[in-house]
Amino acid sequence: MSEPKELLAEPLKLRCGATLPNRLAKAALSEQLGDRRNRPTAELAELYRTWSRGGAGTLITGNVMVDPTALGEPRNVAVPREPDATEFKPWARSVDGTETRLWAQLNHPGRQSPRFLSRQPVAPSAVPFGDRGIRSVFATPRALTVAEIEAIIDRFGVAARTVVDAGFAGVQIHGAHGYLVSQFLSPLTNQRTDGWGGDALRRRRFLLEVVARVRAEVGDAVPIAVKLNSADFQRGGFSEEDSLEVVRELGEAGIDLLEVSGGTYEKAAMMGSAKASTLSREAYFLDYAAKARQVTDVALMVTGGFTSPEGMAEALRSGALDVIGLGRPLIVDPALPGRLLGGEEVRAQRTAPKTGIRLADSLLEIQWHTQQMHRVAAGKPVDRRLGAVRTLVRAGVADPLNAFRRVRG
């Protein structure tokens, strides 16, 4: 039986012919490091330079928004209306001198754009959030017109071409976590009765047309990935059965990598909820990945829950997946992939402090890791002693300041 380090070090050839150097990938994390006009910064390049020297074969960026007027957070990077690939080149070149492949994650927030960024966000249908607390942050969206839907599909294509021209090795379309693609897929948020909704076939049309447009723009040799919910875990929403049908069609559409995730802002399974049988094998969505493997031969990536080299190796041996996705553990230890590949018995860690108050801890988990990313981006070491109070105080100052500084398009 192969040792964990040998399995993790195996290259992976994708359908398009591109090869991933090993089986470890940094999953997307929202960096919040764009400038006031939502362009990439030197700090963003420094963060990815650090990660690229950590040993992961693939790095997937956080949200690169395809529309500069539709942001999920104030400091998202966005592709401008008149894109200039040269603005993205320093970020793309941050991995130079390594074998690491840098892919850009492309996204549109849909209704998940806060009130201070979008007084009137757009979505497939004018469906507000059901949770009263979340509804206070996000305004009720306006339903997109057909012309606007087609324009957003075009924006995904333009964004893909821009980042590939800049030197990114691949792109990932964010189709999970309740953002616009996910909203089109769910019968809870897509209540249209035209060609873009009304049944499961028409609800997945938006994603499939985005994939087709991106492929047309980047060509056959550039890998395209999709991040997809296994389900949104809401009654009457996007189910596992729906998701597996989407997986099958994405395979037929010619994508190269599928990353499995789950949940939305209202039901955040991606933050670590999983049943005991899954947790015992570390990966949150491994059961689903095994089912997805039965309907497609696309390379599969699972992110969330992995802690030990043996747990990662067991998942690869099972054949249910091909790539191990690591997110926040790479913030805590940017050199973790190299240590795993070197055979160290090291565990992936998520070390954010806790208050014992569930709502506060959800915010704290995000803010603590974001602030640590910003330290690494500034050339500083991770501060594991950063406590809950300091984290929340800093967030209470920085978030309103970023919102105030936001330059509206």
pLDDT attached to residue 131 = 80
Question: What is the full per-residue pLDDT of the chain (409 aa) written as tens digits?
Answer: 789 999 999 999 999 999 999 999 999 999 999 999 999 999 999 999 999 999 999 999 999 999 999 999 999 999 999 999 999 999 999 999 999 999 999 999 999 999 999 989 999 999 999 888 888 999 999 999 999 999 999 999 999 999 999 999 999 999 999 999 999 999 999 999 999 999 999 999 999 999 999 999 999 999 999 999 887 766 777 889 999 999 999 999 999 999 998 655 455 444 444 444 443 445 678 999 999 999 999 999 999 889 999 999 999 999 999 999 999 999 999 999 999 999 999 999 878 898 888 878 888 999 999 999 999 999 999 999 999 999 988 888 776 656 555 544 3
- C-alpha span between 399 and 402 (Å, rounded): 5
CA neighbor of 56 nearest in space, from 103, 13, 91, 22? 22
Residue 140 is classified by DSSP as: P
Q: Which of 166, 157, 152, 173 is nearest to 60 (CA)?
A: 173
**pLDDT for residue 166:** 98
User: Which CATH number among 3.40.109.40, 3.20.20.70, 3.90.76.10, 3.30.930.10 corresponds to the domain 4-347?
Assistant: 3.20.20.70
Q: Which residues contact 78 (CB under 8 A, 6 or more apart)?
A: 34, 38, 64, 65, 66, 67, 68, 71
What is the DSSP code string of 226-250? EEEES---STTSS-HHHHHHHHHHH
pTM recorded for the entire structure:
0.93
Residues 32, 90: Cα–Cα separation, whole Å: 17
Alpha-carbon torsion (158, 164, 168, 169), positive or negative = positive
Alpha-carbon Rg for the chain, nearest whole angstrom, is 20
Portions of the chain given CATH number 3.20.20.70: 4-347
CA distance 174 to 182: 8
In 55-66, which positions are buried (b, 16+ CB within 10 angstroms) versus exposed (e)? Answer: bbbbbbbbbbbb
Q: Could you identify the residue written with the tokens 């747990």?
A: 311
Give the pLDDT of residue 282.
57
